[in-house]
Amino acid sequence: MSSTPAVPAIRAWPRVTGQRMRRLAAVLLVAVWTTAGMPAHADTALQNTPELIRNVLEAVVNITVRKDMKRVSPAAEMAAATVSSSKPDHTAPPDIKTFIGSGFVVDPDGLVVTNYHVVEDAFEIKVMLPDGTVLTGTMESASRLADLALVRIHPDHKLVPVHWGDSNKVAIGEQVFAAGNPFGIGLSVSAGIVSAVNRDIQSTPYDDFIQTDATINHGNSGGPLFDMEGKVIGVNSAIISPTTGSAGLGFALPSNSARFVIERLEKYGWIRPAWIGVKLQQVTEDMAQAMGMSQPQGAIVAWVLPDSPAHKAGLEVGDIVLQYNNQTPQDERALLRDIVATPVGTTVPLVLRRDGVQHTVSITPEVFPRDQWAKQDAPLATERPKIVIPPDLGLNLAPVPKAEKMSLGMTDGLTAVLVAGVAPDSDAARRGMTDGDLILRVQNKSVATPAQVQAGIDAARAAKRNYVLMLVLPKVRPTPGPKWMALQVGVDG
């Protein structure tokens, strides 16, 4: 068995109204908890459950994304491979697939949090609000290691954001409920308890998951895990199951960790973690016996990078870190999290054991080198195209990556939009347009973005014209130079 992202290919997404879904969810949750025989101290929370759920669901959203499987990264392709194939979409090229997930509002102006694996490599992001409104979203920034992404939408009114809870106070046995879009059926809730905390499912070196038996399925990824006060204590991120369904092993990123990542992404565009330049390993029982220790304790230094803060502080390979900044981490994952969260430039005490003798040194963490961090975390500034698909034309459109302008035959000052794919049997395909062509003009206006191409198409349609005129520089040119093409803009084109 292995952990898998809780995001599948979409099968169906009924347009169930948010009010009706909240009513059904509340009834279901009350029924489950009423028959569970809750202790007396939870009576007040139980009585207020329907109202509480109605309120918190105003901040939960459904997310639908489209991905061009020819362009996705290996990591995203692996995540997609863990779920069943999407329902065939005969209006899109065969490599275009649709996936679903969940998210929640953290800013009333339209900032949504979800898992990174939900939106990774997506060229189209659609966010459905609880009232059924569907808005286009764009990924502002993300962290692969934290598996979190910020998606911006532009609503015409203020949204209801979530209230954060303190995940450090979460206790085993505490009652919780999860909200999201399981299997794409629509906004749903499920009840359960906290089964464990600080779970290591070996997804990152920093794992600190809340485990719950509240039902989490594929599609719940990115949705919130609430406590009985309606506060978010986690972000539902993964499941472990021998099947494609829930086996009662769901995992949520703790809210305190999520807030740290979100605040850093909003402020810097990346996590900007602190760094001391060491490789650490948890001291095991066998290691402890080999070093003459009565019991395993601390994290042993496996490597020290030259000119790093650790090197400057005098740390050596073989040292055992016992305390950091006056705290005793319970394992090396907690120690790494403490280091990452340290304010850069702040000098803190570090207690270590060397040759059986305890020492205290001062260490000043620096910013993790950005180029090295980018190799581990999600790339934040890439040339990956953002594709817009006008379905009636069957074109996948993308900005021309800078690195490809020379190879595509573009000269200085020439603007264009890349044809990243053409749907089979579309009017564009029938007229010879193909992947790699460049659109230079639409209705004799220069274009530089997919949005400008779409605007030209919309203008032709608004003028009640049957065709839109495009100046195209073919990828394969039997004769030199571009050529004009007229594409049908009707719904049957």
Annotated catalytic sites, by residue? Answer: 117, 147, 221
- End-to-end Cα, the chain, rounded Å: 47
Cα–Cα distances in Å, from 280 out to 103, 229, 275, 332? 34, 38, 12, 7
CA 311 remoteness from chain centre: 35
Six-digit token pair at 44?
Answer: 């007040």
Type and span of the H or E element at 430 = helix 427-430
**Segment holding 474, helix H or strand E:** none
Residue 353: closest CA among 295, 300, 396:
300
Helix (H) or strand (E) holding 119: helix 116-119
- Within 8 A by CB and 6+ apart from 94, the residues are 424
Strands in 325-466 per DSSP E: 348-354, 357-363, 366-367, 395-399, 417-422, 438-442, 445-446
Nearest CA to 470 out of 412, 410, 427 is that of 427
CB 37 within 8 A of CB 49: no
Rounded CA-CA distance 200/203 in Å is: 8
The pair of three-digit structure tokens given for residue 205, joined into one six-digit string: 């070196």
> Which single residue is written with the structure tokens 């054991």?
353
Q: Let me know the angle formed at the C-alpha of 21 by 15 and 26, rounded to the nearest 5 degrees.
A: 170
What tokens were used for 20? 């009706």
Task: Check: CB of residue 356 under 8 Å from CB of residue 320.
Answer: no
Per-residue CA distances from 235 to 136, 146, 215, 256 (Å): 22, 11, 14, 10
Cα–Cα distance between 227 and 13 in angstroms, integer? 27
